[in-house]
Amino acid sequence: MAALRPRFRGLFLALAGCLLASAAQPHGARAPEDHPGGVPIASLEHGQMAVLARHRGEILALAARHYPVDETLRRLTNHAEIQFAYCLWGLMPGTVTDAASPFNGCAHAYLATAREALLRLESLPGKSPAVERLRQRIDADMLANGRDLDLCQHSGEEFGTGRIVGPDWGALPGHWPSLLTVLALPLAAIAAMAALRRPRRTLRA
**Contact (CB, 8 A) for 55 and 18:** no
pLDDT per residue, tens digit, the chain (205 aa), is 444 444 445 445 545 555 555 444 444 444 344 556 799 999 998 889 999 999 999 999 999 999 999 999 999 999 999 999 999 999 999 999 999 999 999 999 999 999 999 999 999 998 889 999 999 999 999 988 877 667 787 888 899 999 999 999 999 999 888 888 888 877 767 777 777 777 766 555 5
Round to whole Å and give the CA distance between 41 and 36.
9
* pTM summary value: 0.77
Domain that holds residue 174: 4-197
Asked, for residue 26, whether it belongs to a domain, the answer is yes
Amino acid at 153: Q
Total tally of structural domains belonging to the chain = 1
- Is 205 inside a domain boundary? no
Angle, helix 104-123 to helix 49-65, in steps of 10 degrees: 50
Task: Please indicate, yes or no, if residue 149 is contained in any of the structural domains.
Answer: yes
The reply to whether 203 falls in a domain is no
Q: How far is Cα 150 from Cα 116, in angstroms, rounded to an integer?
A: 19
Residue 202 lies in a domain: no
String of DSSP letters for 153-193: TTTT--EETT-PPPP-GGGGGG-HHHHHHHHHHHHHHHHHH
- Cα distances from 13 to residues 10, 19, 93, in angstroms, run 5, 10, 21
- In a domain, residue 39? The reply is yes
Q: Has residue 79 been placed in a domain?
A: yes
Residue 204 lies in a domain: no
User: What is the pLDDT at residue 7?
Assistant: 43
